[in-house]
Copies of this chain bind each other. A is one copy, B any other.
């Protein structure tokens, strides 16, 4: 028998508790041992909850109860979650978390503590919600040298872009709709400016290449500047605009992680991933490429990943050695965005049309006083240099994967 504590009784925490009890019989069968939830930690009161008797407000109740060996952290944020998770791991309790901010900022440290204490720190729910991606990457693709990862890592922005593409909406109108439907928060900054996707590409980069990549070192652009003209030009070019978190290994052995809107060509399945769905494409030396698709957020999709981690923690009697990365000085292995080599969609004032010749590029559209084209594959620094003195209206990378 193993006892579980769930930290946080919000959307994901309550989903985790509900899903556990809904499918308890088969969950126990798969875990191979009896399991039950002993505590739920929250500072709020839930007198009407059927789980009211499990609620506690003091983390020490959980920390000091040796019967609790499995912890699900569903609080979010770093401020409190970091200390709680660290203390649980130091006590040898395994922790599953849905908290991407925590993993992106403190993953290396927490993984090291888990290893030292012989327990596990799992975070399948932190990227791609319901989509199995963490475990497939380090376990199913373990025979591969991973060369690149790219994906739609944020459902809110994918919903907004889908509305802009399919219904010709402006960004601001699509954002309002997302907020009305509950897909975007009142302060949508973390989603629309790419911060959420940045945390996730940090986690995937760290896992794929074995060294912790910190959010501060990852170039991040959101979608708030994307206009209907960008969308229309992508369609003319032969694809769609998607917010992509990407990382790839470079010939100099550094890696190039970043988050930005991209033109994605129609032949790439990622261009067909719409609404709030997420998808992650992984390239490896043996598999060529594989893609994982599903709901990137939501109460039960996220809880599904948390409970799967709980089952695996219950089955494990030692630290998982493949899901691990080391802390590292990012300056030595994270390449600067100016050295990123990419094709680039560029739109300039029609009066600056002459610059297109410098790139030997073809015009995509020339209307309303603005002309657009796609550059050959060059470093971003070179593209900047060629554009010196020109008023650039829009600049969007082309996804090469």
Contact = CB atoms under 8 A, between A and B. Distances in A.
Interface of A: 19-20, 22-23, 26-27, 30, 32, 124, 130-132, 135-136, 138-145, 269, 272-273, 284-295, 298, 300-301, 303-308, 310-312, 315, 321-322
Contact of A143 (B23, B143, B293): B23
Contact of A269 (B19, B26, B269, B290): B269
Contact of A311 (B124, B143, B311, B312): B143
Contacts of A322: 30, 311, 315
Contacts of A292: 290-293
A144 B26 CA distance: 9
Given A135-B136, A135-B139, A143-B23, A130 B287 contact: yes
Number of this chain's copies in the complex: 2
A135 B138 contact: no
Contacts of A26: 145
A304 B32 CA distance: 28
Nearest to A145: B23
Contacts of A311: 139, 142-143, 322
A138 B269 contact: no
Contact of A290 (B19, B32, B132, B315): B132
B285 A23 contact: yes
- Counting from the closest, the 7 A-B pairs by CB-CB distance are A132-B140, A143-B307, A290-B294, A286-B304, A130-B287, A291-B293, A132-B136
B143 A32 contact: no
B130 A27 contact: no
Contact of A315 (B20, B145, B289, B321): B321
A299 B116 CA distance: 39
A139 B286 contact: no
B269 A143 contact: no
Given A23-B144, A27-B142, A138-B30, A130 B290 contact: yes
B291 A304 contact: no
A303 B141 CA distance: 11
A312 B19 contact: no
B145 A140 contact: no
Contacts of A22: 285
A287 B293 contact: no
Contacts of A321: 30, 32, 315
Contacts of A135: 135-136, 139-140
Given A142-B308, A269-B272, 13 more contacts: A27-B143, A30-B138, A130-B287, A132-B141, A135-B136, A135-B139, A136-B140, A141-B304, A143-B304, A143-B306, A143-B310, A144-B304, A286-B304
Contacts of A124: 140
